[in-house]
């Protein structure tokens, strides 16, 4: 009871109301900060660190409670050490998240009124190319951007500024083509560039059966607000990678239509593809 009374006294014996408000505000701010930090750690597949931190906080609280001679202000060392450890362990991931947040494009401001027939032609061409390459086990990666790909990535390939057609896409990824190892960048209704090299994801939780193309598709979506369409060279499986590196495998015609329709700000219509 003496221990509980001392803990209760810490939160109630405020002689100055302003000091009490400041204390409560500080606790609320720490709660929000740790929630964001925990969510970041969990999203990077490190649940054990969250449990380790929770155990350390409880153990530290018990020690400082049972030993009143210790300076209670020293308890702040526990979360500070945890935060510094997270910054050191996840420095590359934190940089990537900051870069993504600062370069994220407001799609609503980029909305364009495309010609409906032109959009249907582009969607049909992209889907046709992906499915034809899937049947032939030809590897490919197409990035749907909103003019938010940096110039260094575009400069790593060949700038085309060409109309979208299934024939052109398939010729780019033909195994003997000099551009087949890189990515095609599509902006609006144009193929902006081909043969571009993308940043590879450093996420250690990516399945081992996913190769370089998938890591590149995940990497570009982790850094920029884009969507990647990938055809596996080994299995012919079509995958979608959305913003933040979220991958969806075995994308069928309907899923591709939905993704491309959102990209072109068009309602999904049944007559986009007759197959």
Query: Three-state secondary structure along 193-223?
Result: EEEECCCCCCCCCCCCCCCHHHHHHHHHHHH
Neighbours of 135 (CB within 10 A): 10
Start-to-end CA span in the chain (Å): 75
pLDDT in tens, 205-255: 888 888 899 999 999 998 888 999 999 999 999 999 998 888 999 999 999
Q: Domain coordinates of the chain in residue numbers?
A: 2-89, 108-270
Q: Is the pLDDT of residue 139 over 90?
A: yes
* Paired tokens of 183: 């990515």
pLDDT in tens, 71-99: 666 667 777 777 787 777 777 666 656 65
- Mean pLDDT computed over 158-187: 94
Residues 6+ apart with CB under 8 A from 264: 114, 119, 122, 123
Is the domain 108-270 a CATH 3.90.380.10 member?
no
pTM: 0.62
Average predicted confidence (pLDDT) for the chain: 81
Model pLDDT, residue 272: 45
- Mean pLDDT computed over 56-66: 77
Is 207:218 a contact under the CB 8 Å cutoff? no
- Pairing label, strands 140-145, 183-187: parallel
């Amino acid at each position: 009871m003496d221990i509980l009374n001392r803990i209760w006294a810490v939160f109630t014996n405020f002689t100055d109301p302003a000091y009490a408000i400041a204390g409560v505000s500080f606790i609320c701010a720490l709660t929000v900060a740790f929630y964001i930090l925990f969510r970041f750690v969990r999203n990077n597949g490190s649940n054990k660190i969250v449990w380790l931190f929770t155990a350390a906080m409880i153990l530290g609280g018990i020690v400082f409670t049972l030993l009143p001679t210790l300076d209670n202000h020293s308890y702040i060392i526990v979360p500070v050490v945890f935060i510094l450890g997270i910054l050191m362990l996840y420095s590359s991931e934190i940089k990537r998240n900051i870069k993504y947040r600062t370069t994220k494009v407001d799609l609503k401001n980029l909305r364009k009124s495309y010609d409906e027939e032109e959009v249907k032609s582009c969607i049909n061409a992209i889907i046709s190319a992906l499915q034809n390459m899937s049947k032939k086990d030809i590897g490919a990666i197409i990035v749907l951007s909103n003019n938010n790909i940096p110039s260094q990535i575009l400069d790593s390939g060949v700038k085309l500024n060409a109309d979208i057609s299934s024939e052109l896409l398939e010729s780019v990824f033909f195994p003997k083509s000099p551009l087949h190892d890189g990515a095609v960048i599509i902006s609006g209704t144009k193929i902006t560039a081909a043969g571009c090299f993308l940043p590879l994801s450093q996420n250690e939780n990516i399945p081992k059966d996913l190769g370089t193309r998938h890591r590149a598709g995940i990497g570009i979506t982790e850094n920029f607000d884009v969507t990647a369409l990938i055809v596996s060279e080994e299995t012919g499986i079509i995958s979608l990678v959305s913003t933040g590196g979220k991958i969806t495998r075995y994308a069928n015609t309907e899923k591709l239509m939905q993704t491309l329709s959102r990209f072109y700000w068009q309602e999904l219509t049944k007559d986009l593809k007759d197959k």
